[in-house]
Structure 1
Amino acid sequence: MMMYWWILIGAVVLAAILLPVSRWKTKNENNLEDSLQILKKRMQKVK
């Protein structure tokens, strides 16, 4: 019975870690491109 609980807890913890990470990655891929564009603009201003 205890083993069952550990598997359940492990699955919940894994889901709690993986879900935000995958969401964060998809968000960040878009944000990364945006921040790259902003960086390029700033570099041009500096020059």
Structure 2
Amino acid sequence: MAKSKARRDKENRRTLTSTQEVLYSREFKMADRAGGFVPPNPNS
């Protein structure tokens, strides 16, 4: 069954572009560091 145009538009608004995902992850990482959270080093 085909989804209605309104439903498809609503679902598409919830998704992020690749660029947005990269920018958000970078911003969250910077905020974590500013708040004093340091993730464990995966190389050790």
TM-score range, shorter chain: 0.3 to 0.5
State which structure, 1 or 2, has the greater radius of gyration over its C-alpha atoms: 1
| Higher RCO (CA < 8 A, seq sep 6+) | 2
TM-score (norm 1): 0.40
TM-score (norm 2): 0.41
More helix by share: 1
